[in-house]
Amino acid sequence: MTSPADSQIVLAEIEACSYRNKTAAETAAHLNPLLQKYLPLSSNTSSPSGAADQRLKNERQKDHYSHFILRLAFAATEDLRRRFVRAETMLFKFRFQQDDSKERRAFIESLNLDWEVVGDDEKRELAEHLVNATPGLRRVDDESWFKVDWERVPELVERRAVYVRKGKAYVPGREQLSMIIAEFTARLERALEVLSVMTTAHNVLLTLF
Amino acid sequence: MRARRVEVDGVLDHVVTATAEDRRLQQPYNNHSQINLTARMIRQDINRIDPKRRATLDYKKKQFATPTYKQQDYPHRLNFYEVPPTAEITLEQFEQWAIDRLKSTRPGFLRDVPR
Protein backbone atom coordinates (compact mmCIF):
# COMPACT_ATOMS: atom_id res chain seq x y z
CA MET A 1 0.00 0.00 0.00
CA THR A 2 1.92 3.03 -1.17
CA SER A 3 -0.11 6.02 -2.18
CA PRO A 4 0.93 9.65 -1.91
CA ALA A 5 -1.60 10.14 0.85
CA ASP A 6 -0.06 7.33 2.85
CA SER A 7 3.43 8.74 2.68
CA GLN A 8 2.21 12.14 3.72
CA ILE A 9 0.50 10.61 6.66
CA VAL A 10 3.63 8.72 7.64
CA LEU A 11 5.92 11.69 7.08
CA ALA A 12 4.04 14.31 8.97
CA GLU A 13 2.63 12.74 12.09
CA ILE A 14 3.69 15.02 14.86
CA GLU A 15 0.63 16.37 16.52
CA ALA A 16 -0.08 13.68 19.09
CA CYS A 17 3.42 14.06 20.47
CA SER A 18 3.03 17.80 20.68
CA TYR A 19 0.25 17.40 23.20
CA ARG A 20 2.20 15.10 25.40
CA ASN A 21 4.15 17.65 27.40
CA LYS A 22 1.47 20.27 27.71
CA THR A 23 -0.75 21.10 30.63
CA ALA A 24 -4.50 20.82 30.25
CA ALA A 25 -4.79 24.60 29.92
CA GLU A 26 -2.15 24.79 27.20
CA THR A 27 -3.80 21.96 25.29
CA ALA A 28 -7.15 23.71 25.53
CA ALA A 29 -5.70 27.01 24.34
CA HIS A 30 -4.16 25.24 21.39
CA LEU A 31 -7.10 23.02 20.52
CA ASN A 32 -10.06 25.32 21.03
CA PRO A 33 -9.48 27.67 18.07
CA LEU A 34 -8.78 24.73 15.76
CA LEU A 35 -11.89 22.88 16.84
CA GLN A 36 -13.97 26.03 16.68
CA LYS A 37 -12.85 26.62 13.12
CA TYR A 38 -12.94 23.15 11.64
CA LEU A 39 -15.08 20.94 13.82
CA PRO A 40 -17.43 22.94 16.03
CA LEU A 41 -19.64 20.86 18.30
CA SER A 42 -22.08 22.76 20.46
CA SER A 43 -23.93 21.60 23.51
CA ASN A 44 -27.70 21.36 23.68
CA THR A 45 -27.83 24.34 26.01
CA SER A 46 -26.21 26.60 23.41
CA SER A 47 -29.45 26.71 21.45
CA PRO A 48 -32.94 27.67 22.61
CA SER A 49 -34.49 24.69 20.83
CA GLY A 50 -31.95 22.21 22.22
CA ALA A 51 -31.02 19.11 20.26
CA ALA A 52 -33.69 19.87 17.65
CA ASP A 53 -31.72 22.84 16.29
CA GLN A 54 -30.62 22.22 12.71
CA ARG A 55 -27.23 23.81 13.30
CA LEU A 56 -26.49 21.35 16.11
CA LYS A 57 -27.67 18.47 13.96
CA ASN A 58 -25.36 19.52 11.14
CA GLU A 59 -22.40 19.86 13.46
CA ARG A 60 -23.02 16.47 14.96
CA GLN A 61 -23.54 14.84 11.61
CA LYS A 62 -20.26 16.25 10.37
CA ASP A 63 -18.47 15.02 13.47
CA HIS A 64 -20.03 11.58 13.13
CA TYR A 65 -19.35 11.17 9.42
CA SER A 66 -15.83 12.55 9.43
CA HIS A 67 -14.94 10.14 12.21
CA PHE A 68 -16.06 7.18 10.13
CA ILE A 69 -14.39 8.47 6.96
CA LEU A 70 -11.08 8.69 8.77
CA ARG A 71 -11.61 5.23 10.19
CA LEU A 72 -11.50 3.90 6.66
CA ALA A 73 -8.35 5.86 5.90
CA PHE A 74 -6.57 4.78 9.06
CA ALA A 75 -7.53 1.11 9.29
CA ALA A 76 -4.82 -0.08 6.92
CA THR A 77 -1.86 -0.68 9.19
CA GLU A 78 -1.31 -1.33 12.86
CA ASP A 79 0.68 1.88 13.16
CA LEU A 80 -2.01 4.07 11.61
CA ARG A 81 -4.69 2.43 13.73
CA ARG A 82 -2.77 3.22 16.88
CA ARG A 83 -2.35 6.85 15.87
CA PHE A 84 -6.00 7.15 14.98
CA VAL A 85 -7.13 5.72 18.30
CA ARG A 86 -4.78 8.01 20.18
CA ALA A 87 -5.93 11.16 18.41
CA GLU A 88 -9.63 10.28 18.63
CA THR A 89 -9.35 9.38 22.30
CA MET A 90 -7.61 12.67 22.97
CA LEU A 91 -10.37 14.53 21.16
CA PHE A 92 -13.11 12.63 22.96
CA LYS A 93 -11.52 13.21 26.34
CA PHE A 94 -11.10 16.89 25.65
CA ARG A 95 -14.74 17.30 24.68
CA PHE A 96 -15.94 15.12 27.50
CA GLN A 97 -14.20 17.29 30.07
CA GLN A 98 -15.72 20.42 28.58
CA ASP A 99 -19.24 19.06 28.44
CA ASP A 100 -21.61 20.42 31.04
CA SER A 101 -22.32 17.97 33.81
CA LYS A 102 -26.01 17.50 33.12
CA GLU A 103 -25.51 16.64 29.47
CA ARG A 104 -22.59 14.43 30.34
CA ARG A 105 -24.75 12.43 32.72
CA ALA A 106 -27.47 12.05 30.08
CA PHE A 107 -24.86 10.91 27.59
CA ILE A 108 -23.39 8.34 29.97
CA GLU A 109 -26.84 6.99 30.71
CA SER A 110 -27.51 6.61 27.00
CA LEU A 111 -24.47 4.38 26.57
CA ASN A 112 -25.91 1.37 28.40
CA LEU A 113 -22.64 0.50 30.06
CA ASP A 114 -24.29 -1.74 32.68
CA TRP A 115 -23.62 0.96 35.21
CA GLU A 116 -26.17 1.41 37.84
CA VAL A 117 -26.56 4.71 39.60
CA VAL A 118 -26.61 4.30 43.36
CA GLY A 119 -29.83 5.71 44.75
CA ASP A 120 -29.96 8.12 47.67
CA ASP A 121 -31.35 5.51 50.09
CA GLU A 122 -28.63 3.03 49.35
CA LYS A 123 -26.02 5.77 49.52
CA ARG A 124 -27.15 6.76 52.99
CA GLU A 125 -27.27 3.16 54.11
CA LEU A 126 -23.72 2.46 52.97
CA ALA A 127 -22.30 5.90 53.75
CA GLU A 128 -19.88 4.69 56.38
CA HIS A 129 -18.49 1.87 54.22
CA LEU A 130 -18.12 4.12 51.23
CA VAL A 131 -16.18 6.73 53.13
CA ASN A 132 -13.93 4.14 54.74
CA ALA A 133 -13.19 2.23 51.56
CA THR A 134 -12.62 5.16 49.23
CA PRO A 135 -9.43 7.09 49.85
CA GLY A 136 -9.42 10.86 49.65
CA LEU A 137 -13.12 11.19 50.31
CA ARG A 138 -14.61 13.24 53.09
CA ARG A 139 -18.35 13.22 52.55
CA VAL A 140 -20.43 10.69 50.65
CA ASP A 141 -22.73 13.36 49.26
CA ASP A 142 -19.89 15.06 47.39
CA GLU A 143 -19.86 12.34 44.81
CA SER A 144 -22.33 10.72 42.49
CA TRP A 145 -21.91 6.99 42.92
CA PHE A 146 -22.54 4.14 40.61
CA LYS A 147 -22.00 0.43 40.84
CA VAL A 148 -20.57 -1.98 38.29
CA ASP A 149 -19.46 -5.60 38.29
CA TRP A 150 -16.17 -5.51 40.09
CA GLU A 151 -14.34 -7.23 37.20
CA ARG A 152 -14.89 -4.07 35.21
CA VAL A 153 -12.64 -2.03 37.46
CA PRO A 154 -9.76 -4.36 38.36
CA GLU A 155 -7.30 -1.50 38.77
CA LEU A 156 -9.47 0.14 41.43
CA VAL A 157 -9.84 -3.15 43.26
CA GLU A 158 -6.13 -3.73 43.03
CA ARG A 159 -5.42 -0.33 44.56
CA ARG A 160 -8.04 -1.13 47.21
CA ALA A 161 -9.64 2.18 46.33
CA VAL A 162 -13.22 1.04 46.02
CA TYR A 163 -15.95 -0.51 48.12
CA VAL A 164 -17.07 -3.94 46.89
CA ARG A 165 -20.30 -5.56 48.01
CA LYS A 166 -22.18 -8.53 46.54
CA GLY A 167 -19.94 -8.55 43.49
CA LYS A 168 -20.54 -4.90 42.73
CA ALA A 169 -17.91 -2.21 43.03
CA TYR A 170 -19.13 1.19 44.22
CA VAL A 171 -17.25 3.67 42.10
CA PRO A 172 -17.19 7.40 42.89
CA GLY A 173 -17.99 9.90 40.16
CA ARG A 174 -14.48 11.20 39.73
CA GLU A 175 -13.31 7.80 38.46
CA GLN A 176 -15.90 8.01 35.71
CA LEU A 177 -13.68 9.92 33.32
CA SER A 178 -10.93 7.31 33.19
CA MET A 179 -13.45 4.49 32.90
CA ILE A 180 -15.35 6.10 30.05
CA ILE A 181 -12.14 6.92 28.22
CA ALA A 182 -10.94 3.35 28.65
CA GLU A 183 -14.23 2.06 27.32
CA PHE A 184 -14.10 4.44 24.36
CA THR A 185 -10.57 3.37 23.46
CA ALA A 186 -11.35 -0.31 23.84
CA ARG A 187 -14.40 -0.16 21.61
CA LEU A 188 -12.62 1.91 18.99
CA GLU A 189 -9.67 -0.47 18.89
CA ARG A 190 -11.98 -3.44 18.49
CA ALA A 191 -13.96 -1.76 15.70
CA LEU A 192 -10.76 -0.85 13.83
CA GLU A 193 -9.46 -4.41 14.08
CA VAL A 194 -12.67 -5.71 12.54
CA LEU A 195 -12.58 -3.05 9.87
CA SER A 196 -9.00 -3.85 8.91
CA VAL A 197 -9.76 -7.57 8.69
CA MET A 198 -12.73 -6.77 6.48
CA THR A 199 -10.78 -4.50 4.15
CA THR A 200 -7.95 -7.03 3.95
CA ALA A 201 -10.40 -9.78 3.07
CA HIS A 202 -11.98 -7.50 0.52
CA ASN A 203 -8.61 -6.77 -1.09
CA VAL A 204 -7.72 -10.47 -1.20
CA LEU A 205 -11.02 -11.24 -2.90
CA LEU A 206 -10.39 -8.49 -5.43
CA THR A 207 -7.01 -9.98 -6.37
CA LEU A 208 -8.54 -13.43 -6.75
CA PHE A 209 -11.37 -12.49 -9.06
CA MET B 1 -32.81 -1.13 -20.86
CA ARG B 2 -30.90 1.33 -22.99
CA ALA B 3 -27.24 0.75 -23.77
CA ARG B 4 -24.91 3.50 -24.81
CA ARG B 5 -21.29 3.18 -25.88
CA VAL B 6 -18.96 5.50 -24.09
CA GLU B 7 -15.23 5.89 -23.96
CA VAL B 8 -13.55 5.87 -20.57
CA ASP B 9 -9.79 6.38 -20.49
CA GLY B 10 -9.53 5.23 -24.08
CA VAL B 11 -11.45 2.02 -23.44
CA LEU B 12 -14.82 1.51 -25.03
CA ASP B 13 -17.50 0.49 -22.60
CA HIS B 14 -21.24 0.29 -22.39
CA VAL B 15 -23.35 2.31 -20.08
CA VAL B 16 -26.69 0.72 -19.41
CA THR B 17 -29.45 2.91 -18.13
CA ALA B 18 -32.82 1.88 -16.86
CA THR B 19 -35.75 3.20 -18.83
CA ALA B 20 -39.33 3.83 -17.83
CA GLU B 21 -40.16 0.47 -19.41
CA ASP B 22 -37.82 -1.33 -17.02
CA ARG B 23 -39.35 0.26 -14.03
CA ARG B 24 -42.79 -0.79 -15.21
CA LEU B 25 -41.56 -4.36 -15.64
CA GLN B 26 -40.21 -4.34 -12.13
CA GLN B 27 -43.63 -3.72 -10.67
CA PRO B 28 -44.59 -7.08 -9.21
CA TYR B 29 -47.45 -8.84 -11.02
CA ASN B 30 -49.79 -6.00 -11.72
CA ASN B 31 -50.15 -6.61 -15.45
CA HIS B 32 -50.95 -9.96 -17.00
CA SER B 33 -50.30 -9.21 -20.62
CA GLN B 34 -48.43 -11.91 -22.45
CA ILE B 35 -45.63 -9.58 -23.46
CA ASN B 36 -45.01 -8.57 -19.96
CA LEU B 37 -44.94 -12.15 -18.70
CA THR B 38 -42.46 -13.13 -21.36
CA ALA B 39 -40.33 -10.18 -20.55
CA ARG B 40 -40.39 -11.10 -16.90
CA MET B 41 -39.37 -14.67 -17.60
CA ILE B 42 -36.40 -13.52 -19.60
CA ARG B 43 -35.42 -11.02 -16.99
CA GLN B 44 -35.86 -13.41 -14.12
CA ASP B 45 -32.17 -13.72 -13.38
CA ILE B 46 -31.94 -9.98 -12.94
CA ASN B 47 -34.84 -9.86 -10.55
CA ARG B 48 -33.67 -12.69 -8.35
CA ILE B 49 -32.84 -11.88 -4.79
CA ASP B 50 -29.73 -13.12 -3.13
CA PRO B 51 -30.80 -16.48 -1.60
CA LYS B 52 -29.60 -15.48 1.84
CA ARG B 53 -31.87 -12.50 1.93
CA ARG B 54 -34.86 -14.13 0.37
CA ALA B 55 -36.43 -15.48 3.52
CA THR B 56 -36.80 -12.07 5.08
CA LEU B 57 -38.59 -10.48 2.15
CA ASP B 58 -42.17 -10.60 1.06
CA TYR B 59 -41.40 -10.74 -2.63
CA LYS B 60 -44.70 -9.27 -3.64
CA LYS B 61 -44.19 -6.14 -1.66
CA LYS B 62 -40.63 -5.62 -0.71
CA GLN B 63 -38.57 -6.81 -3.60
CA PHE B 64 -37.72 -3.31 -4.67
CA ALA B 65 -38.11 -1.57 -1.38
CA THR B 66 -35.39 0.89 -0.59
CA PRO B 67 -33.30 -0.09 2.42
CA THR B 68 -34.33 1.58 5.64
CA TYR B 69 -31.93 2.38 8.44
CA LYS B 70 -32.23 3.38 11.99
CA GLN B 71 -32.87 7.08 12.11
CA GLN B 72 -30.08 9.04 13.71
CA ASP B 73 -30.98 12.21 15.52
CA TYR B 74 -27.97 12.95 17.75
CA PRO B 75 -29.61 13.77 21.07
CA HIS B 76 -26.20 14.24 22.73
CA ARG B 77 -23.22 16.34 21.90
CA LEU B 78 -20.76 13.53 22.43
CA ASN B 79 -20.75 10.40 20.37
CA PHE B 80 -19.35 6.94 21.06
CA TYR B 81 -19.35 6.21 17.34
CA GLU B 82 -21.11 2.87 17.72
CA VAL B 83 -23.52 3.24 14.83
CA PRO B 84 -22.06 3.83 11.39
CA PRO B 85 -23.56 6.60 9.27
CA THR B 86 -26.11 5.58 6.65
CA ALA B 87 -27.43 8.76 5.06
CA GLU B 88 -26.10 10.04 1.77
CA ILE B 89 -23.60 12.84 1.57
CA THR B 90 -21.97 14.46 -1.44
CA LEU B 91 -18.41 13.76 -2.53
CA GLU B 92 -17.45 17.32 -1.65
CA GLN B 93 -18.75 16.85 1.87
CA PHE B 94 -16.92 13.54 2.13
CA GLU B 95 -13.65 15.16 1.24
CA GLN B 96 -14.13 18.39 3.13
CA TRP B 97 -15.32 16.78 6.34
CA ALA B 98 -12.41 14.38 6.41
CA ILE B 99 -9.92 17.20 5.80
CA ASP B 100 -11.55 19.38 8.45
CA ARG B 101 -11.30 16.64 11.01
CA LEU B 102 -7.66 16.12 10.19
CA LYS B 103 -7.01 19.84 10.41
CA SER B 104 -8.71 20.16 13.75
CA THR B 105 -6.67 17.66 15.73
CA ARG B 106 -3.86 16.50 13.51
CA PRO B 107 -2.60 19.56 11.65
CA GLY B 108 0.71 17.82 10.96
CA PHE B 109 -0.96 15.33 8.65
CA LEU B 110 -1.89 17.90 6.07
CA ARG B 111 1.29 19.94 6.01
CA ASP B 112 2.05 19.03 2.41
CA VAL B 113 -1.47 19.04 1.02
CA PRO B 114 -1.86 22.09 -1.22
CA ARG B 115 -5.36 23.25 -0.34
pLDDT score of A11: 37
CA A19: distance to chain centroid? 17
Question: Looking at CA atoms only, how far is residue B59 from chain A in angstroms?
Answer: 30
Give yes or no: residues A80 and A165 share one domain.
no
**pLDDT tens-place string over residues B72-93:** 788 899 999 988 888 889 999 9
Region A179-199: mean pLDDT is 91
Q: Kind of pairing, strands A116-117 and A163-165?
A: unpaired
- Contact (CB<8Å) B78/A188: no
Given this model, what pLDDT does residue A62 score?
93
Q: A77 and A16 share a domain?
A: yes
Can you give the length of chain B in residues?
115
Cβ contacts below 8 Å, chain A against chain B, sum to 120
Dihedral of CA A128/A131/A134/A135: which sign? Answer: negative
Q: pLDDT per residue over A6-28, tens digit each?
A: 444 433 444 554 556 677 788 78
Same domain, A9 and A47: yes
How high is the mean pLDDT of chain A?
A: 81
The pTM score is 0.66
pLDDT of residue A190: 93
| B28 found inside a domain | yes
The reply to whether A154 and A59 lie within a common domain is no
Is residue B68 a part of any domain in this protein?
A: no
Candidates B76, B81, B100; nearest CB to A107: B76
- Same domain, yes or no: A11 and A60: yes
Contact A76, A196 (CB under 8 A): yes
* Mean pLDDT confidence for A44-52: 84
Look at residue B110 and tell me if it is in a domain.
no
Secondary structure class of B9 (helix, strand, coil): coil
Q: Which residues contact B110 (CB under 8 A, 6 or more apart)?
A: A8, A12, B99, B102, B103
Asked whether residue B48 is domain-assigned, the answer is yes
Give chain A's domain count: 2
Residues of A in contact with B84 (CB under 8 A): 68
The complex scores an ipTM of 0.74
Neighbours of A69 (CB within 10 A): 20
In a domain, B36, yes or no: yes
Judge if A10 and A39 occupy the same domain.
yes
Tell me the shortest Cα–Cα distance from A13 to chain B, in angstroms. 6
pLDDT digits (tens, 9 = 90+) for B3-52: 566 565 555 555 555 566 666 556 555 444 555 555 555 555 555 666 66
For residue A144, give its domain range: 116-175
Q: Are residues A69 and A81 in the same domain?
A: yes
Number of domains forming the structure of chain B: 1
